[in-house]
């Protein structure tokens, strides 16, 4: 992840005063940074004015032969600007250097944090994928086992229903056999009774025939007796 920082011209008071910095979770306090930049900007403006004045004085001194042209080392600057001004400038330089170093450290820390966060998120994603894969596998195994159990239950129910039907059929067959045997016995009894009735009726008819013959003979015999008398 690229991180960009505002790089104002340190020699320009306006650039220092309007410098912008990225806001981070572990960055510097923006209010304090801006207050310090305004102080540095004001001090730089004052020092630049002082520098212009001293350059003018130096040129005048060079013109009078009081200084070697082109020589402006730190000792000369200290002499010209004064120890207090040089100290303020040194502090400002050190503060700017510290700010750059801290900004670099903050950027490196942010990069490390981002890399750690990405690694953590990747690890969590891998764990979640593995967990879901295991859950899916467990669910599939559970569904297969449930289907097998349901199949076994259906087979057992079919067997029980078949046994029940066979038992009911055997019971009905036995009942029908008993009813048929009872009907056969009734038929035999009725047949025997009918045969006895037929024999009795035949005997009665024979008796009636004999009676009719006797009666006819009697009728024929009676008139003969009367006439003879």
Phi-psi region of 52 (alpha: psi -120 to 50; beta: other; left: phi over 0): alpha
Q: Give the separation between CA 4 and CA 134, rounded to whole angstroms.
A: 44
Which pLDDT band, with edges at 50, 70 and 90, does 208 fall under?
A: low
For residue 120, pLDDT beyond 70: yes
Share of the chain above pLDDT 70, in %: 56
* 166, part of any domain: no
For 141-156, write each residue's pLDDT tens digit.
Answer: 777 888 888 888 888 8
Domain hosting 67: range is 13-140
For residues 100-131, one letter each, b for 16 or more C-beta atoms within 10 angstroms of the residue's C-beta and e for the rest, the string is: eeebeebbeebeeeeeeeeeeeeeeeeeeeee
Phi–psi pair at 5, nearest 5 degrees: -125, 150
* 209, part of any domain: no
Nearest to 21 by CA among 35, 33, 12: 33
Q: How many CB atoms lie within 10 A of CB 75?
A: 10
* 27, part of any domain: yes
Instruction: Compare 80 and 124 and report the one with higher pLDDT.
Output: 124
* 80, part of any domain: yes
* 20, part of any domain: yes
* 35, part of any domain: yes
* 199, part of any domain: no
The mean pLDDT of 122-140, rounded to a whole number, is 79
> Total domain count for the chain?
1
């Amino acid at each position: 992840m690229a991180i960009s920082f505002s790089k104002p011209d340190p020699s320009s008071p306006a650039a220092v005063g309007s410098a912008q910095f990225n806001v981070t979770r572990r960055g510097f306090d923006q209010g304090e940074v801006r207050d310090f930049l305004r102080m540095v900007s004001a001090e730089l403006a004052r020092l630049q004015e002082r520098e212009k004045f001293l350059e003018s004085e130096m040129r005048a001194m060079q013109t009078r032969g009081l200084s070697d042209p082109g020589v402006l080392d730190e000792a000369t600057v200290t002499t010209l600007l004064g120890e207090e001004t040089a100290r303020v400038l040194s502090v400002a330089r050190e503060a700017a250097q510290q700010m750059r170093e801290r900004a670099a450290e903050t950027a490196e820390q942010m990069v490390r944090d981002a890399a750690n966060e990405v690694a953590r998120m990747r690890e969590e994603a891998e764990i979640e994928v593995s967990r879901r894969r295991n859950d899916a596998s467990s669910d599939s195994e559970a569904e297969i086992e449930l289907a097998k159990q349901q199949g076994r239950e259906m087979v057992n129910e079919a067997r029980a229903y078949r046994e029940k039907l066979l038992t009911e059929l055997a019971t009905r067959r036995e009942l029908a056999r008993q009813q048929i045997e009872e009907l056969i016995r009734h038929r035999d009894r009725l047949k025997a009774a009918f045969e006895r009735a037929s024999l009795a009726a035949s005997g009665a008819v024979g008796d009636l025939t004999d009676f009719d013959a006797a009666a006819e003979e009697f009728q024929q015999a009676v008139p003969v007796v009367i006439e003879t008398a």
